[in-house]
Every structure is written in C-alpha cells, then in structure tokens.
Amino acid sequence: MRNAWLIYNPAAGRFPAGPFIGRAVKVLCEAGWDIRIIKREKDSDLTLMASEAIREGCHAVFVVGGDGSVGQIASTLAGSSTALGVLPAGTANVWAQELGLPRLGY
C-alpha cells in the first residue's frame, strides 16, 4: 500500500474543511492510499512538515489549501522522490487554475 500525508490548512478558503477532507480521504483510501491526516496549526511550518514526510519515506504529500500552502510544500518536495498532490481549497487557487485543475465542489 502506498503511504501519504494529507496536509490541510483549515484557514484556507471560504468553506469548512471537515466535509471536504472526509471525502478526499475516502477517495484516496479507495484508490489504495494509506493516509495520515495532518492539520496545519496557525504557526506551524509547512516546509518542516514536508521535510518530515520525505524523511519518513512517504510516497506522496497531498496538500489541501491555497497557493501559499501549495508553494511552500512544492518547493520542499522538489528534487525528492515524494510526489505532490494538490487539492485546491484556497480562495483564489491561481496555481491550480494555471495548471487547469478542476474546481472542487464543496
């Protein structure tokens, strides 16, 4: 089974994260992922979280958040063997729009 962290920022976006996180975890588990859910606390460092995921040998880090969260984690994972998954849940989601990712339904 592939292991991954799902890091979410409860302050990102305009919608409550709880129901969305539940649906995302369900879909990922059905797809064969073993998911560890990590809620970002207000002053926590996303780069440290991503570095820890790399050290633990995670196959992927799924980010639920906005452009800032995605950018911090992406820059840390760059060059590692840990893949990045993006579930855009910020206010603008410019990064996701530029890549043509579909908008998420809440």
Q: pLDDT value at position 30?
A: 96
Judge whether 37 lies within some domain: yes
- Give the model's pLDDT for residue 5: 97
Instruction: Please give the pLDDT value at position 89.
Output: 74
Q: Is 76 among the domain residues?
A: yes
The CATH code of the domain that includes 26 is 3.40.50.10330
Q: What is the pLDDT of residue 54?
A: 98
Each residue's pLDDT, cut to its tens digit, for the chain (106 residues) gives: 899 999 987 776 666 677 778 888 999 999 999 999 998 877 679 999 999 999 999 999 999 887 888 899 999 999 999 999 988 776 666 666 666 766 655 5
Q: Which domain holds residue 14?
A: 2-99
Taking the CA atoms of 85, 53, 67 and 93 in sequence, report the sign of the dihedral they define.
positive
3-state secondary structure of 38: strand
pTM: 0.82
Q: Which residues sit opposite 61 in a β-bridge?
A: 5, 84
Q: Is residue 72 part of a domain?
A: yes
| Domain count within the chain | 1
According to the model, what pLDDT value does residue 58 have? Answer: 97
State residue 13's pLDDT score: 65
Quote the crossing angle between the two packed helices 67-77 and 46-55, to the nearest 10°: 40
